[in-house]
Amino acid sequence: MFQKTFDWLDERLGLKTIYATVLDRKVPKVNWWFTLGSASLFLFLLQGITGIMLTIYYVPSPDHAYDSIQYIMTSVSYGWLIRGIHHWGASLMVLIVFFHMLRTFYFGAYKYPREFTWVTGVFLLLLTLGMGFTGYLLPWNQRAYWATTVATSIAGTVPFIGNFINQVLRGGVDLSAVTLARFFSVHIWWFPAMIAGLIGVHLYMVIRLGISSVPKEED
Amino acid sequence: MPSSPHMSRREFVAIVTAAAGTVMGALIGIPAIGYLITPALQKVAADVWIPVGPTANYPVGTPTLFNFNRTKVNGWEKTVNSYGVFVIQHEDGSFLALSNKCTHLSCRVNWKTDSSAYICPCHDAYFDINGQIIKGPQPRPLDAYETKIEADILYIHFVGS
């Protein structure tokens, strides 16, 4: 029964071909450092799922942001767990993505024909940092408020257009409800959508080009 | 493979995989579902006896207004609602506690001694001293609270949310 259902679906969707292309592709003999990309992908999905869960209760407004998080932490069953995973997963994701970049760099895996994979990876790293930056404001506590004040002020030191950049980031002269709303929007819509799209391109090239082997003495 | 009375390796792996999968599914699923349905499991209804003061505060035959506030919590939001209750001591020493909320559209009624009636300022609903309808648009008499006396203190039974 299961076999017949699967065959019916496979005939139409090509599931076996997808499996063979994506998971059964030939890879050179590599080591554990080559798992960092999969780890990054896993963390992105984990952050996505826990983040979606958090939006059930979180309200991005100066009146409610802090209180809604207190509610998640103290009153909602397993709220501490879901926010805890999102909180620590965020730091871990920055770390793992960065190590993934270091591995690619030290093993020379960015060279021909994988230059464009590297370029999309650079944007993915920057977007990951952007997720950290925008997510940090959302708890709307003292640390979040002043960290964002300082960070947007740093952006304001750019010559000539610094003040403009600062005001675009803050949505005005001061940190306000406008800042919180746009950071929330960027954190849950803009950056995740861009990351998901770039991961698609990144993985397409990984599958199309295959992964590089560990450099040998003669390389 | 020679036939064996014991389970095959393949069967064993299938059972272990299913068991491990169930445990992992529960570890992820229970917190996720608990997280989502928490608000439905929290008790919001109130069922309390509220002290409204010594019985001596309430003269026989004169409705006396007592005001109190109740805080309602929804999630992280607290709402303070105020309530008014007319307490009437009858000549036999029994007590009647009537909500001052008009049963028509929830305006607050006032006791008018010269008319011997609770009169609603909104649509001229008249209730007698025991809350029964005299005239007006109201569909039912004023709501009464259950009362009890403990150590000379009068309590009203507040049931609500």
Nearest to B34 among A68, A71, A78 (CB): A78
Residue A112 DSSP class:
T
> Coil, strand or helix: which one is B114?
coil
pLDDT string in tens for chain B (161-residue length):
566 678 899 999 999 999 999 999 999 999 999 999 998 887 767 788 999 989 888 888 889 999 999 888 888 998 898 999 999 998 888 899 999 999 999 999 999 988 889 999 999 999 998 899 999 999 999 999 999 999 889 999 988 75
**H or E segment at A68?**
helix A65-74
Determine which of A2, A74, A76 to mutate to test the interface with B (most B C-beta atoms within 10 Å).
Answer: A76
Residue B32's closest chain A neighbor by CA?
A78
> Coil, strand or helix: which one is B160?
strand
Determine which of A77, A85, A86, A140 to mutate to test the interface with B (most B C-beta atoms within 10 Å).
Answer: A77
CB-CB under 8 Å, B75 with A68? yes
Q: Hey, what amino acid is at B105?
A: L
- Chain B contacts of A56, Cβ < 8 Å? 35-36
CB-CB under 8 Å, A79 with B38? yes
User: In angstroms, how far is CA B137 from the centroid of its own chain?
Assistant: 26
Long-range contacts of B143-152 (CB under 8 A, 24+ apart): B143/B98, B143/B99, B143/B101, B143/B103, B144/B96, B144/B97, B144/B98, B144/B99, B145/B85, B145/B97, B145/B98, B145/B99, B146/B97, B147/B95, B147/B96, B147/B97, B148/B49, B149/B55, B149/B95, B152/B54, B152/B55, B152/B56
Nearest to B36 among A56, A64, A81 (CB): A56
Per-window interface: A 67-86 vs B, CB < 8 A: 67-68, 70-71, 75-79, 81-82
Angle at B10 between CA A35 and CA A2, to 5 degrees: 85
Residue A49's closest chain B neighbor by CA?
B32
CA distance B4 to chain A (A): 27
Residue B74: per-residue pLDDT: 86
Encoding tokens for residue B116? 């011997």
Residue B73: per-residue pLDDT: 84
- Chain A contacts of B42, Cβ < 8 Å? 75
CB-CB under 8 Å, A71 with B76? yes
Residue B1: per-residue pLDDT: 53
CB-CB under 8 Å, B76 with A64? yes
- The CB-side HSE value for B20 (13 A sphere, CA atoms) comes to 6
Q: Report, as ranges of residue numbers, the positions in chain A whose pLDDT lies below 70.
A: none
CB-CB under 8 Å, A77 with B34? yes
Residue B57: per-residue pLDDT: 87
Q: Residue A159 and residue A153: Cα distance in Å, rounded?
A: 13
Count other Cβ atoms within 10 Å, centred on residue A59.
19
Check if the beta carbon of residue B53 is closer than 8 Å to that of residue B154. Answer: yes
Q: Residue B81 and residue B65: Cα distance in Å, rounded?
A: 16
